[in-house]
Structure 1
Amino acid sequence: MLTRYHISQEYMAAFSEDPPKYAALHWDGKMLRDVLGSDPGTTSETLAVLVSGPPAYPEGKLLGVPVIDSSTGTAQAEASMDLLEAWGLTGVITALVFDTTASNSGVHRGAAKLLEQKLDRKVFYLACRHHILEVLVGAVWENLFGKVKSPENPWFKHFKDVWTDLTTDNPTTLSIRQKWLNKKKKECKEMLQEILRSEKPPRADYREMAELTLIVLGDTPPRGIHWSRPGAIHQARWMARNLYSMKMFMFAEQLEYDEETVVKLERLNLFLGLFYTPMWISSTLAADAPANDLQFMKDMMKFKRTDPEIAQAVLQKLENHKWYLTQEVVPFALFGSRLSDKEKQDIAAKLHATEKPDSFRRGKPMFPQVTAKTTLADLVGPESHLLLDTLGIEYDWLLQPVATWPRSDDYSKALEYVSNVKVVNDIAERGVKMMTDFANIITTDSQQKQYLLQTVEYNRERFDSFKKQTLKK
Structure 2
Amino acid sequence: MECVDICSTADRLGLTDNQVTALVSVTLKAGGADLDKFVISTSTTRRNRMLTRYHISQEYMAAFSEDPPKYAALHWDGKMLRDVLGNDPGTTSETLAVLVSGPPAYPEGKLLGVPVIDSSTGTAQAEASMDLLEAWGLTGVITALVFDTTASNSGVHRGAAKLLEQQLERKVFYLACRQHILEVLVGAVWENLFGKVKSPENPWFKHFKDVWTDLTTDNPTTLSIRQKWLNKKKKECKEILQEILRSEKPPRADYREMAELTLIVLGDTPPRGIHWSRPWSHSSGQVDGQNLYSMKMFMFAEQLEYDEETVVKLERLNLFLGLFYTPMWMSSTLAADAPANDLQFMKDMMKFKRTDPEIAQAVLQNLKTTSGT
Could you say which TM-score interval applies, normalised by the shorter chain? 0.7 to 0.9
Query: Is the 1:16–1:89 contact (alpha carbons within 8 Å) kept by the matching residues of 2?
Result: no
- Distance change in 2, residues 1:150/1:64 (3 Å): farther
Q: How far apart in 2 are the matches of 1:30 and 1:472?
A: 27
- Distance change in 2, residues 1:221/1:293 (3 Å): same
Counterpart in the other structure of 1:214: 263
Kindly provide the CA deviation profile for residues 15-71 of structure 1, in whole angstroms up to 9, marking residues without a partner as x: 133222211111111234545533456543221111111412221221111122221
Q: How far apart in 2 are the matches of 1:279 and 1:470?
A: 16
Structure 2 residue matching 1:136: 3-state secondary structure? helix
Query: Is the 1:173–1:218 contact (alpha carbons within 8 Å) kept by the matching residues of 2?
Result: yes
Query: Is the 1:27–1:97 contact (alpha carbons within 8 Å) kept by the matching residues of 2?
Result: yes
- Distance change in 2, residues 1:238/1:53 (3 Å): farther
Kindly provide the CA deviation profile for residues 124-175 of structure 1, in whole angstroms up to 9, marking residues without a partner as x: 0000111111121111111111222233222222211111110001111111
RMSD across aligned C-alpha pairs, in angstroms? 8.0
Mean Cα deviation higher: 263-272 or 145-154: 145-154
- Distance change in 2, residues 1:202/1:37 (3 Å): closer
Q: How far apart in 2 are the matches of 1:468 and 1:41?
A: 43
Kindly provide the CA deviation profile for residues 297-327 of structure 1, in whole angstroms up to 9, marking residues without a partner as x: 01111111211121111111xxxxxxxxxxx
Offset of 1:4 from its aligned partner?
2.9
Offset of 1:236 from its aligned partner?
4.3
Offset of 1:123 from its aligned partner?
0.6
Matched, 1:46 2:95: yes
Query: Is the 1:24–1:94 contact (alpha carbons within 8 Å) kept by the matching residues of 2?
Result: yes
- Distance change in 2, residues 1:257/1:287 (3 Å): same
- Distance change in 2, residues 1:182/1:40 (3 Å): same
Mean Cα deviation higher: 266-275 or 157-166: 157-166
Structure 1 residues without counterparts, runs of 5 or longer = 317-466
Q: Which protein, 1 or 2, shows the higher relative CO under an 8 Å CA cutoff with sep ≥ 6?
A: 1
- Distance change in 2, residues 1:238/1:86 (3 Å): farther
Kindly provide the CA deviation profile for residues 415-454 of structure 1, in whole angstroms up to 9, marking residues without a partner as x: xxxxxxxxxxxxxxxxxxxxxxxxxxxxxxxxxxxxxxxx
Kindly provide the CA deviation profile for residues 311-366 of structure 1, in whole angstroms up to 9, marking residues without a partner as x: 111111xxxxxxxxxxxxxxxxxxxxxxxxxxxxxxxxxxxxxxxxxxxxxxxxxx
Query: Is the 2:68–2:103 contact (alpha carbons within 8 Å) kept by the matching residues of 1?
Result: no
Offset of 1:256 from its aligned partner?
1.3
Q: How far apart in 1 are the matches of 2:266 and 2:370?
A: 66
Structure 1 residue matching 2:108: 3-state secondary structure? strand
Counterpart in the other structure of 1:282: 331
Offset of 1:237 from its aligned partner?
3.5
Kindly provide the CA deviation profile for residues 64-86 of structure 1, in whole angstroms up to 9, marking residues without a partner as x: 11122221111110111011111
- Distance change in 2, residues 1:270/1:236 (3 Å): same
**TM-score with structure 2 setting the length:** 0.81
Offset of 1:470 from its aligned partner?
51
Offset of 1:263 from its aligned partner?
1.2
Structure 2 residue matching 1:287: 3-state secondary structure? helix
Query: Is the 2:242–2:271 contact (alpha carbons within 8 Å) kept by the matching residues of 1?
Result: yes
Kindly provide the CA deviation profile for residues 400-422 of structure 1, in whole angstroms up to 9, marking residues without a partner as x: xxxxxxxxxxxxxxxxxxxxxxx
- Distance change in 2, residues 1:7/1:43 (3 Å): closer
Aligned length: 323
Kindly provide the CA deviation profile for residues 106-138 of structure 1, in whole angstroms up to 9, marking residues without a partner as x: 111111010000001111000011111112111
Q: How far apart in 2 are the matches of 1:24 and 1:468?
A: 26
**TM-score with structure 1 setting the length:** 0.64
Matched, 1:166 2:248: no
Query: Is the 1:20–1:57 contact (alpha carbons within 8 Å) kept by the matching residues of 2?
Result: no
2:197 corresponds to which of 142, 145, 148: 148
Offset of 1:468 from its aligned partner?
55
- Distance change in 2, residues 1:94/1:471 (3 Å): closer
Offset of 1:472 from its aligned partner?
53
Offset of 1:200 from its aligned partner?
2.8
Matched, 1:238 2:296: no
Mean Cα deviation higher: 113-122 or 190-199: 190-199
Mean Cα deviation higher: 179-188 or 38-47: 38-47
Q: How far apart in 2 are the matches of 1:472 and 1:221?
A: 37
Query: Is the 1:105–1:111 contact (alpha carbons within 8 Å) kept by the matching residues of 2?
Result: yes
- Distance change in 2, residues 1:152/1:170 (3 Å): same
